[in-house]
Amino acid sequence: MKRAVKGLLLLTLSGAIFAHAQISSFEHVIIIFQENRTPDNLFYNLCTTPYGSASSCSTKPTGSQYNIQTKNWLNKHSATGVTQPSSIALANSYDLGHNHDSFTKMCDLNSKTGICKMDGAGDVVCTGTCSTTPQFRYVTNSGAVLNPYLDLATQYGWANYMFQTNQGPSYPAHRFIFGGTSAPSTSDDAEGTYASSNVSQPSQPGTAITGCIALSGSTVKLITPEGENQKMYPCFEHQTLSDLLESVNVSWKYYTPTVGNLWNAPNSIQHICVPSASTGGNCTGADWKNDIINPSKILTDISSCKLSQVSWVIPDGKNSDHASSNTGGGPSWVASIVNAIGNNAKCSNGELYWNNTAILVTWDDWGGWYDHEPPTILAQPFGDYQYGFRVPLIVISAYTTAGYVDNNRHDFGSILRFVEQNYGIEQGSLNFADARAGTNLTTFFNLTKAPRSFKTIKTTLDANYFINDTSPAVDPDDD
């Protein structure tokens, strides 16, 4: 085994320890991080034929109902107080604001109750070729483009209450999924100070470089308990989940389209990047070898039996689901990774990936789209930036019951805690989002049962398409 502790671990499920599990823990965990969607926007079709019906969904779900609202979306600017949702293509022609200011507008916080009214989506700014009420749209399944997502959600596990851990856009979100915080340091996190926005940089056409190799003059806004009134160069120093993994000899890789983009979380951590200059330059650290500049390498690593134990997978922009910049490839992209795991032959050491891999698919932020479910706002000092809006979460493994719907409240910290407990690391060891999370996703797995056989997810584009795609890499987001 790749780690000495593996044979000693017994996975805790719903408070009980099963000593006769098929496996004691997963050998591999894959975290797929897509872009900018809410359950109401992207998974509306779980409530329609052939995936379900109106009775399959409820805003107060019971049993295996999906918590998706299909009508009467709250809109304080409407004469009736509601707007009826209409459809939009996955690859649409406009983008919606999803920075911290957009969160504040859409939340429309009730100062007396401390709960978001969730009626302010109409105030979110739209750029591009904007339709009428552009925020109040759900993605149409025309051409069956969403079928891979819908198949995964109904054949494996779905979370009704998964929330982004931050109240902002992609840059801070990716720091949370990798390192548990967007704070510059451990002390800043404890004081409730976080990077709250994407990075602003000098105007140089053709450049989009962030993190410890950002151009001189690049800054990121910080939010503190006193407000968004500070900025700093976007190079931080604190422990990340990758450090905890290395401490128990667990291998990791982070797949991303380009070196300097907003979604390359390792490039913002000083001890991982080890920049060659005080600003600009290149990352030179020993751990930088784990930062893989080509998302499709995850597919070839699987087929060649070189899969690391923990993998973060960030899509190329064409396959990201980001409004106005994706080309509709996201559902096939995600399913191609699942299919690669499910259909991979035994490795030379006898390992069968499908029998020892957990795949977690979630989205980095809400993208400005409507969602009806208010987030929990933490107490001070964290409440100025935790938590954000709902995002989808699909959990896939040979030990996940088909059609399982989970009604616990999860966030990115729940993913960190799952990885920690799976590899024998004390949960909450980062002392960031993992310490504040209340769940660890183990309810999605029953390791006492024999592994389910894999059924290939039908896709429009397959792994060969993504592996052989020679078009220039496009960042997943442009704002």
How buried is residue 186: exposed, middle or buried, by Cβ count under 10 Å (0-12/13-18/19+)? middle
Angle, helices 170-179/412-422, rounded to nearest 10 degrees = 20
Q: How far is CA 77 from the centre of its chain?
A: 31
As given in the structure block, the two tokens for residue 21 are: 């599990």
Q: What is the pLDDT of residues 252-284, one digit of tens each?
A: 999 999 998 889 999 999 999 999 999 989 999
pTM metric for this prediction: 0.94
Q: Tell me the CA distances in angstroms from 329 to 301, 303, 315, 318, 372, one per residue in order.
A: 21, 21, 10, 6, 27
Q: Are the C-beta atoms of 373 and 391 separated by less than 8 Å?
A: no
Per-residue pLDDT for 14 more than 90? no
Mean pLDDT calculated for residue range 291-314: 98
Instruction: Give the C-alpha separation, 237 to 215, whole Å.
Output: 18
Dihedral angle computed from the Cα positions of residues 285, 289, 293 and 298, in that order, rounded to the nearest 10 degrees: -150
Q: What is the pLDDT of residues 56-79, one digit of tens each?
A: 999 999 999 999 999 999 999 999
Q: Tell me the CA distances in angstroms from 421 to 164, 302, 414, 418, 472, one per residue in order.
A: 21, 24, 11, 5, 38
Q: What is the pLDDT of residues 387-426, one digit of tens each?
A: 999 999 999 999 999 999 999 999 999 999 999 999 999 9
- Superfamily per CATH, domain 6-468: Alkaline Phosphatase, subunit A (3.40.720.10)
- Domain range summary for the chain, segments of one domain joined by +: 6-468
